[in-house]
Amino acid sequence: IEVNSSPQGASIYIDGNSIIDTQGHVILTPVRITGVGTGLHEVQISLDRYHSKKVFLNVIPGKVNEVSVTLQPIWR
């Protein structure tokens, strides 16, 4: 899955699980994530001071599955 956000630097959750590297560091957008199983997945992109965005993505094997979102700021 290729995940992009505007602005960049957002956290990614797939099916409610934070995406981290092998050392336990949170991976931020933009990024290409491998090893996601075939089928329907919920992808959430979150960034401080912005509304989170959730999308559903049907992962198809052998294809680059893309998620690209524009996050809206939270006005206070």
For residue 76, name the pLDDT band (cuts at 50, 70, 90): low
For residue range 1-59, list pLDDT tens digits in order: 999 999 999 999 999 999 998 899 999 999 999 989 999 999 999 999 999 999 999 99
Task: Tell the burial category of 45 from Cβ atoms under 10 Å away from its Cβ (0-12, 13-18, 19+).
Answer: buried
What whole-number distance in Å separates Cα of residue 58 and Cα of residue 41? 6
Stated pTM of the model:
0.91
Residues 6+ apart with CB under 8 A from 76: none
User: Cα angle vertex 19, ends 17, 24, to 5°?
Assistant: 110
Tokens of 15: 């099916």
